[in-house]
């Protein structure tokens, strides 16, 4: 009887020892799949596209941004020599709505759409095609910086996050849309001054020409970056102290 029982056991023992195609013992794949926990997908993998709520958020904060930069531009226009500082003022006052948008929607496309909407508004209000171009270019670059440069904490399973430095760099670049308001003084300057003289008079055109000599273009760019940087620092402080408590960020 013992001999018969041993012979009956041998086939099952050999079957269990036979490896599969990958060199693993039979049944090991099923055991591993049954015992190993499922790997959770990262938020970026599951939600990479903008949704209806994102578009509503973009529209709301774009309108708020436009109101704030209009106030900044108005203040600088009321000061006789303040117009070259318009980009700085726009960044200082307008960056907080931009940062609220960045906190609400961290997907690629939100900042770009905001820039496109801004371009349409600026084109309709001022008719300056340079501003339309710089608004779109600056917004896309800022969007790439904000959504493509991320950091991951060592040993963390959470999705990569955006650092403070990357956020400030993004909003500073976004504010470079403002240089488009003054590019006619540097590109096609003579033609633009002639058109300005015909519309506003020689005295007004001469005064603006004196505010924007050719060498001031680098200064205008630096002021735009600086305004976005300081506005971003103010926006970060407001986000941490007030807006998160109110559920706005």
Tokens 């929607």 locate to: 105
**Higher local confidence (pLDDT), 11 or 77:** 77
pLDDT of residue 4: 45
What pLDDT is stored for residue 14 in this prediction?
45
Asked if the model's pLDDT at residue 187 lies above 90, the reply is yes
Whether 228 shows a pLDDT value over 60: the answer reads yes
pLDDT, residue 128, reads: 84
Share of the chain above pLDDT 90, in %: 57
Task: State the Cα–Cα distance between residues 58 and 143, nearest whole angstrom.
Answer: 13
Determine the Cα–Cα distance for residues 129 and 116; give it in Å rounded to an integer: 13
Is the model's pLDDT at 117 over the cut of 60?
A: yes
* pLDDT over threshold 60, residue 164: yes
Beta-carbon count within 10 A of 74 CB: 11
List the single range of 24-28, 113-117, 167-171 with lowest mean pLDDT.
Answer: 24-28
| pLDDT for the residue 189 | 92
Could you tell me what percent of the chain has a pLDDT over 70? 73
The pLDDT-based confidence of 245 (bands split at 50, 70, 90) is low
- Phi, psi (5° rounding) for residue 243? -70, -35
Q: How far apart are CA 3 and CA 84, in angstroms?
A: 102
- Collapsing DSSP to helix, strand or coil, 123 comes out as helix
pLDDT of residue 31 exceeding 80, the answer is no
Mean pLDDT of the chain: 81
Looking up tokens 């609400």 gives 104
Report pLDDT for 217. Answer: 94
| pLDDT exceeds cutoff 90 at 74 | yes
pLDDT tier at 223, thresholds 50, 70, 90: very high
**138, pLDDT greater than 70:** yes
Integer Cα distance of 187 and 197 in angstroms: 17
Identify the CA nearest to 170 among candidates 200, 150, 194, 198: 150
Q: Is the pLDDT of residue 143 over 70?
A: yes
Query: Tokens 């790439």 identify what position?
Result: 144
If one compares 73 and 10, the residue with the highest pLDDT of the two is 73
CA distances from 40 to 35, 46, 116, 157, 158 (A): 15, 10, 35, 9, 10
Measured CA to CA in angstroms, residue 52 lies from 23, 56, 71 at distances of 50, 6, 29
205: Cβ contacts below 8 Å, ≥ 6 apart: 193, 196, 197
pLDDT of the residue at 127:
78
The pLDDT value given to residue 148? 81
In this structure, are residues 217 and 178 in contact, taking their beta carbons and an 8 Å threshold?
no
pLDDT-wise least confident of 49-53, 78-82, 219-223, 242-246: 242-246
How much is the CA Rg of the chain, to the nearest whole Å?
A: 30
């Amino acid at each position: 009887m013992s001999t018969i029982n041993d012979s009956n056991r041998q086939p099952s023992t050999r079957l269990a020892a036979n490896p599969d195609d990958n060199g693993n013992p039979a049944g090991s794949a099923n055991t591993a799949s049954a015992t190993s926990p499922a790997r959770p997908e990262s938020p970026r993998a599951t939600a990479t596209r903008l949704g209806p709520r994102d578009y509503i958020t973009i529209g709301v904060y774009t309108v708020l941004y436009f109101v704030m930069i209009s106030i900044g531009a108005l203040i600088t226009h009321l000061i006789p020599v303040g117009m070259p500082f318009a980009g700085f003022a726009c960044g200082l006052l307008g960056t907080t709505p931009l940062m609220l948008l960045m906190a609400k929607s961290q997907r690629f496309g939100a900042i770009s759409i905001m820039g496109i909407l801004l371009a349409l508004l600026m084109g309709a209000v001022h008719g300056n095609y340079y501003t339309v171009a710089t608004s779109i270019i600056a917004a896309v670059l800022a969007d790439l910086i904000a959504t493509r440069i991320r950091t991951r904490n060592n040993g963390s399973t959470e999705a990569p996050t955006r650092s403070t430095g990357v956020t400030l760099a993004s909003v500073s670049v976004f504010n470079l849309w403002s240089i488009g308001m003054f590019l006619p003084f540097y590109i096609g300057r003579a033609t633009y001054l002639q058109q300005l003289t015909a519309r506003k008079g020689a005295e007004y055109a001469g005064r603006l020409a004196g505010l924007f000599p050719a060498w001031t273009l680098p200064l205008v760019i630096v002021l735009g970056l600086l305004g976005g940087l300081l506005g971003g620092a103010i926006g970060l402080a407001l986000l941490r102290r007030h807006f998160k408590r109110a559920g706005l960020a």
